[in-house]
Amino acid sequence: MTEVVTYRPEPAEMSYTFGGREPVLRVRPGTVVQLYTEDCYGGRVRGVDDLPSRVCEFPYLNPVTGPIHVEGAEPGDTLAVHVVAVEPARDWAVSSTFPHFGALTGTHTTAMLHPPLDEVVWMYDVDVAAGTVTYRARRGDYTVALPLDPMHGTMGVAPAAFESRMTIVPDAHGGNMDSPELRAGVTAYFGVNVPGALFAVGDGHCRQGHGEVCGTGVEAAMNTTLILDLVKGVSTPWPRLESDDALMSTGSARPLEDAYRISQHDLVSWTAELMGLDQLDAYQLVSQAGEAPVGNVCDPNYTMLARVARRYLGGVTAYDGVHARLRETGRAHLAHR
């Protein structure tokens, strides 16, 4: 029988790093966890006059819920995180520019002599029943409904090598990958670096464009249901995703071509291994059949995914079929709640 744990962190329990924190929860592999996650502003931006640079305080940005210790997880294992549901917790969401953050502005890294762009907040109406979020121009009256497509920008485990990283950083441990692919129905795989894996999740988006060009998505608190499971004795070098239709590898680095290289290299290697293909044959197959959905082009590392449809891989099974099993469990959980 499936164990179900519900956890809503107090503000003081929020985490701001992957690594360096004691777990807030311990679960057995296979547990369904129902979590509340706060938005990347810590819930402090509630109207257009709440400028993030005034109401938020560094480094208390992008809080995550966790870390969660998964019993039995050891370095060298893989944590499988099946996303059952990502449900907006409020009927509004928010996006903004932020001084010296985003892809079309000078930043602290791409350092320039320009003053920052204007700091502007946009409030979105969230209509779960209609499946929309509504954009409203701030300096005009244009309004348009966009499809609701909830996802988590930030998900990962404690890093290797005794590191602790701000939640805003994506890297080999996961983190702030900001990929719209991380939505319900997907299983994410993370290599375990420390006992218990120390999983955490946050930064819900009602939707985001590719690359999160202004620096933020349609940011929202979420009620999120996940299944945390283990694949023992199998390592995973960079976070991978599996959907019913596709296999995906991620890469997070700068410049952006290195994020592309990491993700494509991992997908070529993974495909070769799964299919028993020669490496160059897999390189050719991914070259013609592969896709490259962009994650973020604004965070401390940029993120790209490499994706190949299962139907081009002859129905191959990855990680011993854990995605299909968790998918079934997730559907059953939703049907009975």
Candidates 288, 321, 335, 336; binder of its own copies (CB under 8 A) is 288
| Cβ count within 10 A of residue 244 | 11
Helical spans, DSSP H, in 217-305 = 256-275, 279-289
Q: What is the spatial distance between Cα 178 and Cα 169, in angstroms, rounded to a whole number?
A: 10
Give the tokens for residue 31. 């547990």
Instruction: Please tell me whether the peptide bond between 59 and the residue prior to it is cis, using omega within 30 degrees of 0.
Output: yes
**Closest separation in Å from C-beta 41 to its own copies:** 16
Residue 157 · residue 147 · CB < 8 Å: no
**CB under 8 A: which stretch of 5-13, 38-46, 80-88, 259-267 binds its own copies?**
259-267
Token couple for 251: 């890469």
- Rounded distance, CA 303 to CA 305, Å? 7
- Min CB(189)–its own copies separation in Å: 18
Q: How many amino acids of this chain bind its own copies (CB under 8 A)? A: 90
Q: Which stretch binds its own copies (CB under 8 A): 29-37, 101-109, 224-232, 323-331?
A: 101-109
The correct pick among 179, 250, 264, 303 for binding its own copies (CB under 8 A) is 264
Amino acid letter, 1 = M
Q: Answer yes or no whether residue 276 interacts with its own copies by CB under 8 A.
A: yes
Handedness of CA 115, 168, 247, 279 (dihedral sign): positive
Please give the helix or strand (H or E) that residue 4 lies within, else none. Answer: strand 4-7
Q: Which is nearer to its own copies, 260 or 319 (CB)?
A: 260
Q: Does 332 sit near its own copies (CB under 8 A)?
A: no
Q: Is 58 in the site for its own copies (CB under 8 A)?
A: yes
Kindly tell me which residue out of 56, 220, 228, 285 binds its own copies, with binding defined by CB under 8 A: 285
Give the per-residue contact string, 154-183, with its own copies (x = CB under 8 A; - = no): ------xxxxxxx-----------------
**Residues of span 59-98 touching its own copies by CB under 8 A:** 59, 95, 97
Give yes or no for residue 257 binding its own copies (CB under 8 A).
yes
Residue 284 touches its own copies, criterion: CB under 8 A: yes
Answer for the pair 34, 223: CB distance below 8 angstroms, yes or no. Answer: yes
**Strand 170-171, strand 174-175: pairing:** antiparallel
Residue 278 binds to its own copies (criterion: CB under 8 A)? yes
Q: What residues numbered 200-229 form the site for its own copies, per CB under 8 A?
A: 207-218
Specify the residue, 316 or 334, whose C-beta has the smaller distance to its own copies: 316
151-156 and 199-205 beta bridge pairing? antiparallel
Report the residue number, 125 or 281, with the smaller CB distance to its own copies. Answer: 281
C-alpha to C-alpha distances, 305 to 85, 134, 154, 164, 295, nearest whole angstrom: 21, 28, 15, 24, 7
Site residues (CB under 8 A) for its own copies, limited to 114-153: 114-115, 117-118, 120, 122, 133, 135, 137-140, 142, 144, 146
